[in-house]
């Protein structure tokens, strides 16, 4: 379910706010899932009980602040929104699986 939300929520956001360029904006937002490359640095790579927020380097609080700031720069707005959506979904997953919002 969690993985599917990474496709569904950006589609909803694009459908509501970016209809004119929806194909491009959706592709950009989906490409922000590449931020999960930092999971490859963990051992084990996947742990269903581990919270990504605060654990993986690109899921830390400083990078998240950068992602939020990208939302306010017109040329990087789509990337920023995609990354913020990704972090919000990962944080929600943390809450649902471990009972905390971040590590």
Structure confidence at residue 55 (pLDDT): 92
Give the 3-state DSSP-derived string for 37-79, with helices as H, strands as E and coil as C. Answer: HHHHHCCCCCCCCCCCCCCCHHHCHHHHHHHHHHCCCHHHHHH
The SS3 of residue 93 is: helix
pLDDT at 101 > cutoff 80: no
Q: Are 95 and 45 in contact (CB under 8 A)?
A: no
Residue 103 reports pLDDT greater than 80: no
Phi, psi dihedrals of residue 19, rounded to the nearest 5°: -65, -35
pLDDT tens per residue across span 44-100: 988 888 899 999 999 999 999 999 999 999 999 999 999 999 999 999 999 988 887
How many CB atoms are closer than 10 A to CB 3? 10
């Amino acid at each position: 379910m969690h993985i599917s939300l990474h496709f569904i929520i950006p589609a909803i956001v694009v459908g509501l706010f970016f209809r004119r360029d929806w194909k491009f904006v959706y592709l950009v937002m989906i490409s922000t899932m590449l931020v999960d490359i930092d999971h490859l640095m963990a051992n084990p790579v996947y742990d269903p009980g581990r919270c990504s927020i605060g654990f993986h380097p690109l899921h830390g609080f400083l990078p998240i602040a950068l992602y939020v700031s990208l939302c306010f720069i017109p040329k990087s707005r789509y990337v920023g929104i995609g990354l913020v959506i990704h972090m919000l979904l990962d944080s929600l997953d943390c809450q649902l699986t471990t009972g905390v919002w971040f590590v």
